């Protein structure tokens, strides 16, 4: 290279040295707030959703404490109603929905594609800002006092009660647009930003899952938006679309709400499944079994998710023919879910399995999601649903899917990509301790709720019959163990940030593309544009260098030693 | 091609390889946004369908209370504005900066006409008490018009659910009107960028995307107009 050419490169404001990393390349809070780097945006999302998760978790522990005894334990019934509303709304809208796509997806997806960034980086930053604005509205709703509608905002109660429900619905309306724009960005990115050699059959399955999720985000969320807009106008101008006194129909609200909120369940679970694909393949050191089946089952789940909303309304007074159709369609969901479970098990079979913490969470995901999924069939069956509807059985069922599924998937991904995000390793022993506590605590909390529900304990009740107390106390005890588990995990991650060992490029020895970039990725993800010549699970085609787990310095000594020998 | 000192194109963002890739992404993103918009309005259309089938009398009478002449005028105005929007895109693509600006201004003007007509329609309805939902309280001329419309359509008495009809009328046309305002704002922004010479034969993507949005606003009105004004 001539001296002039070199000088020109250094003068170029867009040129970034090859050894730069995304965290330290620019410094100061301003550089974070104005960044368009998807990795930094992902990290800011990660911090935001973890704060929301903490808040939602505290509300959950307060709930479980109140339920230790029948009648008053630590708070009045009204406060209790607010607590479960806040727990539900914060966990669903501020944590689970953005958790995997917006935080982890933002970080990993463009790297996996071999792209420098998402298709619309500024829009990506805008989504984050919109999320923050939505979160502020939610906080205002909390300080405005008294929101006790549950996270579903069923009318007429939500429009008759005081105004805080409206603040919350406006907040969720805004959060919805954040979700839509993220989904839109991801679809455009997957379609137009794939690096050389990255054709559709080479897409990592994490991307297939996130892509299917994005389709739901773009097509379902606007329906929630218009529903909440109508709800707000109901309250503010008295439009009367859902008000029976004015000729409106509250059941129509439920149809609209669940037309979004059932697909939203797939917004939550599909990304969790997407992470499990990556982790299972990496820790089995094996090509994933039935790649195309897994990819297509994600798409099938996304489509079927739009056709089953009526199963939330079996006892809401919709026509009995509709309930039959919705029940039948609901059973269809079991097919693509089963396809995934069997493919994961087939991948494990004869794999070279290592049980590090990400793998533990993913294996737990398979078990817990199976329980959550199969108990869903009890609720999709018309006759059993009449008995189980609105009991703790439902609560236990969706917590097995949302926590046992999504949160375990999220934790699996967080442990898995932690070295790539932070460039540091964490203490595996403490990670396993935390896992054990979380796993045991979770099961104790919610298995007992299956029993409670099948014996007739209704959900959302402040008090209960004495005979339910032992099970309620068990459930609360489990919740405390779960809380301690998360505390241990938080300390473990904090220690890793502060003094964790520096990670190599590929600490798990994965064949996945994202592990081929530097330990903490270059601001443009790869210092040089990669060309993909093999699939992300092709362990038989990956070079020794690609699968090497140590740092670059260790690789050099490794090579030198080999040459000596 | 306009480039900076280092041979980088001014309009090609750093994370794209080619202008074609950037254009493809922008177009796909915009179509996804339009899909999202359609589903946003779909809730309103479903609510309309449900209540129309429940309260056909109220819908027929309500429709007769809307001024179809104003509605027709507004439909023509919007169709014409879609034409001027297309012409703006065409001018931008052929690099005719002056024509682009003028067609954008024409589109904004027509959108403004639409809003003015809408204002007169709303104003009249407010005056005679055709308000949404719980505020529905027709009086004076308003009552006379309702009775006349009921007689004309063979409906007995004043249908109670006229309030639901007007509730949906105001929500649907209101949200549509909001989209018109946003469109005017964005086209003003495009006009300004065009004035500064940011568009050329090689790069006119933002104008094209704005026009796509404008056509959606137009198409939604094409559905709103007959559903609200022309039913019998």
Q: What DSSP state is assigned to residue A524?
A: T
Residue contact B15–A256, C-beta within 8 A: no
What is the Cα–Cα distance from A231 to A235, expressed in whole angstroms? 6
Structural contact between residues A78 and A146, judged by C-beta atoms closer than 8 angstroms: yes
A and B: number of Cβ contacts within 8 A: 126
Alpha helices (H) in A193-249, listed in sequence order: 205-237
**Any idea how long chain A is?**
565
Domain range annotation of chain B: 57-229
Is A368 in a helix, a strand, or coil?
A: helix
Do A230 and B135 make contact, defined as CB atoms within 8 angstroms?
Answer: no
Q: Which has the closest alpha carbon to A368: A265, A433, A273?
A: A273
- DSSP E strands in A461-564: the ranges are none
DSSP letter, residue B17:
S
pLDDT of res. B1 = 39
Token pair recorded at residue B122: 């709303």
Domain spanning B57-229, CATH class: mainly alpha
Report the distance separating Cα A514 and Cα A418, nearest Å: 12
Q: Are the beta carbons of B35 and A241 separated by less than 8 Å?
A: no
Cβ contacts of A12 within 8 Å, gap of 6 or more: B6, B8
Question: Which chain B residues have any C-beta within 8 angstroms of a chain A C-beta?
Answer: 6, 8, 13-15, 21, 24-25, 28-29, 32-33, 35-37, 39-44, 46-47, 50-51, 55, 132-135, 160-161, 163-164, 167-168, 170-171, 175
pLDDT tier at B189 (50, 70, 90 boundaries)?
very high
Task: List residues bridging with A411 in a β-sheet.
Answer: none
Query: Is the CB of A524 less than 8 angstroms away from the CB of B44?
Result: no
Arithmetic mean of pLDDT, B203-227: 97
Answer yes or no: are the C-beta atoms of A97 and A151 closer than 8 Å: no
Please name every residue paired with A502 in a beta bridge, in sequence order, or none if there are none: A424
Judged by CB atoms closer than 8 Å, whether chains meet at A121 and B164 is answered as no
> Cβ(A266)–Cβ(A302) under 8 Å?
yes
- Integer CA distances (angstroms), A125 to A34, B11, B210, in order: 8, 20, 21
- Tokens coding B219: 């198409």
CB distance B157 to B30 below 8 Å? no
H-helix or E-strand containing A182? helix A164-192
Between B13 and A373, whose confidence is greater? A373
pLDDT at site A11: 53
CB A172 within 8 A of CB A90: no
- DSSP per-residue string spanning A372-431: HHHHHHHHHSHHHHHHHTTBHHHHHHHHHHIIIIIIHHHHHHHHHHHHHHHSB---HHHH
- Residue A155 Cα, gap to closest chain B Cα (Å): 15
Distance from CA of B57 to the nearest CA of A (A): 13
| pLDDT (average), residues B162-178 | 96
Q: What is the pLDDT of residue A159?
A: 83
The pair phi, psi for residue A494, each rounded to 5°, is -60, -40
What is the rounded radius of gyration, in angstroms, for the C-alpha atoms of chain A?
A: 24
Residue of A339, A221, A333, A357 lying closest to A290 (CA atoms): A339
DSSP one-letter string for A99-139: IIIIIIIHHHHHHHHT-SS-S-HHHHHHHHHHHHHHHHHHH
pLDDT for B7 equals 46
- Residues in A closer than 8 angstroms to B37, CB to CB, are 222
The whole-number pLDDT of residue B9 equals: 65
- Cα A509 to Cα A528: distance, rounded to the nearest angstrom: 21
3-state secondary structure of B3: strand
Are residues B167 and A225, on separate chains, in Cβ contact within 8 Å? no
Report CA B25 to chain centroid distance, whole Å.
25
How far apart are the C-alpha atoms of B160 and B157, rounded to whole Å? 9
Chain Cα centroid distance, residue A231: 27
**Which of chain B's residues have a Cβ under 8 Å away from the Cβ of A188?**
25, 28-29, 32
Written out in words, the top-level CATH class of the domain with range A36-564 is mainly alpha
pLDDT tens, chain A, 565 aa long: 455 555 555 555 567 888 889 999 999 999 999 999 999 999 999 999 999 999 999 999 999 999 999 999 999 999 999 999 999 999 999 999 999 999 999 999 999 999 999 999 999 999 999 999 999 998 888 887 688 888 988 988 888 876 677 888 899 999 999 999 999 999 999 999 999 999 999 999 999 999 999 999 999 999 999 999 999 998 888 898 998 888 899 999 999 999 999 999 999 999 999 999 999 999 999 999 999 999 999 999 999 999 999 999 999 988 899 999 999 999 999 999 999 999 999 999 999 999 999 999 999 999 999 999 999 999 999 999 999 999 999 999 999 999 999 999 999 999 999 999 999 999 999 999 999 999 999 999 999 999 999 999 999 999 999 999 999 999 999 999 999 999 999 999 999 999 999 999 999 999 999 999 999 999 999 999 999 999 999 999 999 999 999 888 899 999 999 999 8
Read off the pLDDT of residues B53-84 as tens digits, 9 standing for 90 and up: 999 999 999 999 999 999 999 999 999 999 99
* Contact criterion met (CB < 8 Å) for B28 and A187: yes
Helices B205-229 and B97-128: angle between axes, nearest 10 degrees = 30
Scan for tokens 């024509």, then name that residue: B99
Distance from CA of A394 to the nearest CA of B (A): 28
Q: Is A247 left (phi over 0), alpha (psi -120 to 50) or beta?
A: left
């Amino acid at each position: 290279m001539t001296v002039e050419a070199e000088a020109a490169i250094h003068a170029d404001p867009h040129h970034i040295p090859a050894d730069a990393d995304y965290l330290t390349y620019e410094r100061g809070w301003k550089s974070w707030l104005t960044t368009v780097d998807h990795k930094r945006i992902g990290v800011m999302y990660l911090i935001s959703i973890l704060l929301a998760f903490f808040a939602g978790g505290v509300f959950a522990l307060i709930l479980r404490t109140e339920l230790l005894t029948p009648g008053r334990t630590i708070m009045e019934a009204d406060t209790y109603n607010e607590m479960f509303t806040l727990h539900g709304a914060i966990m669903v809208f501020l944590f689970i929905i953005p958790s995997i796509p917006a935080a982890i997806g933002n970080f990993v997806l463009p790297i996996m594609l071999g792209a420098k960034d998402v298709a619309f980086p500024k829009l990506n930053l805008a989504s984050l800002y919109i999320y923050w604005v939505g979160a502020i509205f939610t906080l205002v709703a909390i300080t405005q006092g008294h929101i006790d509608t549950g996270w579903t905002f069923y009318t007429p109660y939500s429009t008759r009660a005081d105004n805080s429900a409206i603040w919350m619905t406006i907040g969720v309306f805004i959060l919805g647009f954040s979700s839509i724009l993220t989904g839109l960005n991801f679809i455009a990115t997957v379609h137009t930003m794939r690096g050389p050699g990255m054709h559709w059959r080479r897409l990592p399955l994490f991307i297939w899952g996130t892509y299917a999720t994005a389709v739901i985000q773009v097509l379902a969320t606007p329906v929630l938006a218009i529903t909440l807009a109508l709800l707000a106008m109901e309250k503010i101008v008295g439009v009367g679309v859902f008000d029976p006194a004015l000729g409106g129909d509250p059941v129509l609200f439920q149809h609209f709400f669940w037309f979004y909120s059932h697909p939203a369940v797939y917004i939550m679970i599909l990304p969790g499944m997407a992470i499990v694909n990556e982790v299972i393949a990496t820790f089995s050191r094996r090509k994933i079994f039935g790649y195309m089946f897994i990819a297509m089952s994600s798409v099938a789940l996304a489509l079927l998710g739009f056709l089953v909303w009526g199963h939330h309304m079996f006892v809401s007074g919709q026509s009995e023919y509709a309930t039959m159709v919705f029940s039948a369609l609901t059973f269809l969901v079991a097919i693509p879910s089963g396809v995934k479970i069997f493919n994961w098990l087939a991948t494990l079979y004869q794999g070279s399995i290592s049980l590090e913490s990400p793998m533990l969470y993913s294996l737990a995901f398979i078990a817990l999601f199976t329980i959550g999924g199969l108990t869903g069939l009890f609720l999709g069956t018309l006759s059993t649903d009449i008995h189980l509807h609105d009991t703790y059985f439902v609560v236990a069922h969706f917590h097995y899917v949302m926590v046992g599924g999504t949160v375990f998937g999220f934790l699996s991904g967080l442990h898995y990509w932690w070295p790539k995000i932070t460039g540091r390793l964490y203490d595996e022993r403490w990670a396993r301790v935390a896992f054990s506590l979380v796993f045991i605590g979770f099961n104790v909390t919610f298995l007992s709720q299956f029993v409670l529900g099948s014996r007739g304990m209704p959900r959302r009740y402040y008090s209960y019959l004495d005979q339910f107390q032992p099970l309620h106390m068990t459930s609360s005890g489990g919740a405390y163990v779960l809380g301690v588990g998360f505390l241990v995990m938080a300390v473990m991650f904090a220690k890793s940030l502060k003094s964790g060992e520096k990670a190599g490029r590929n600490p798990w020895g994965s064949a996945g593309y994202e592990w081929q970039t530097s330990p903490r990725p270059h601001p443009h993800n790869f210092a040089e544009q990669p060309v993909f010549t093999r699939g992300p699970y092709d362990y038989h085609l990956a070079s020794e260098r690609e699968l090497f787990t140590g740092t670059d310095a260790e690789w050099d000594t490794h090579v030198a030693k080999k040459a000596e020998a | 091609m306009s480039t900076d000192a280092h041979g980088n194109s001014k309009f090609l963002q750093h994370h794209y390889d080619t202008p074609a890739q950037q254009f493809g992404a922008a177009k796909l993103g915009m179509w996804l946004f339009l899909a999202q918009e359609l589903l946003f309005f779909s809730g309103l259309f479903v609510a309309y369908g449900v209540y129309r089938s429940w309260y056909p009398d109220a819908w027929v009478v309500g429709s007769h209370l809307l001024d179809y002449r104003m509605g027709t005028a507004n439909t023509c105005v919007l169709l014409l504005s879609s034409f001027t929007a297309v012409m703006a895109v065409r001018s931008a693509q052929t690099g005719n900066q002056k024509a682009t600006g003028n067609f954008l201004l024409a589109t904004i003007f027509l959108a403004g006409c639409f809003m003015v007509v809408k204002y007169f329609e709303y104003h009249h309805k407010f005056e005679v008490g055709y308000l949404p939902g719980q505020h529905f309280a027709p009086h004076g001329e308003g009552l006379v018009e309702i009775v006349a419309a009921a007689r004309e359509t063979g409906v007995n008495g004043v249908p109670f659910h006229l309030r639901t009809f007007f509730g949906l009328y105001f929500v649907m046309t209101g949200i549509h009107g909001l989209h018109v305002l946003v469109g005017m704002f964005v086209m003003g922004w495009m006009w300004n960028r065009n004035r500064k010479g940011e568009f050329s034969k090689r790069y006119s993507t933002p104008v094209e995307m704005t026009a796509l949005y404008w056509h959606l606003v137009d198409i939604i009105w094409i559905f709103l107009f007959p559903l609200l004004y022309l039913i019998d």
